[in-house]
Copies of this chain bind each other. A is one copy, B any other.
Amino acid sequence: MSAVDRVDIPKKAIYRLSIYNRCLQRLVENEQKTVSSSALAKAAGVKPSQLRKDLAYFGQFGTRGLGYPVETLATMIRDALGRERLQPVVLVGAGNLGSALLRYQGFQKEGFEVVAAFDVDPEGVKARGIGVPVYSEKELEKRIGEDQVKLAILCVPGNIAQSLANRLTEAGVQGILNFSPVVLEVPADVMVNNVDLALELEHLSFFVR
């Protein structure tokens, strides 16, 4: 991406960028023209100084004494996040959780298009309300290659997660959103994001007596 070196920006700052983006969408809808770091930070649940620092990694967008122009800032964030164009995504494992995610509107709402799903038993998937074609996992390589898909959502049982991750990365996938409760081993240039539901509950459990 542009002039900024993506490498030395804190990972956490990038998560926050998405949050800022969401807050900005609301401001756009309300036709607000500018927003101050303190107002936006409050909406995002962070400190103003942190917001300013986060944005500064990408350049100077604000006007001193005034704040940030809402539209411009939103555009730059979407750009920085690589969301300027629709990213196609595939989903692997349309079981219980997987098929719920297929029906989940949140991805579409944020501009991702789930273009295909794969399952060992594509006939068995309850396709009611799912507008995404479900293929046999055997077609995985073919379809990912054809559509140049770079992102995958993985929701298969733990025991087969690694082997599917291997197939995905070999087919060219560079980012995996992993719902399986296992530690995936992937090439260095592939990014894995783990969403481990039971683990999140356990973490809460620690703080609760």
Residues of A within 8 A of B (CB): 1, 6, 11, 14-15, 17-19, 21-22, 43-45, 80-83, 87, 89, 96-97, 99-101, 103-107, 109-110, 112, 150-151, 153, 174-177, 181, 183, 185, 191, 193, 195-209
Chain B contacts for A6, CB-based, 8 A:
206-207
| Shortest 8 CB-CB contacts between residues of A and residues of B | A100-B100, A175-B204, A45-B183, A110-B198, A18-B202, A174-B208, A175-B208, A191-B207
Q: CB distance B151 to A203 under 8 Å?
A: no
A179 → B minimal CB distance (Å): 9
The answer to whether A207 and B45 have CB atoms under 8 Å apart is no
CB distance from A106 to the nearest CB of B (A): 5
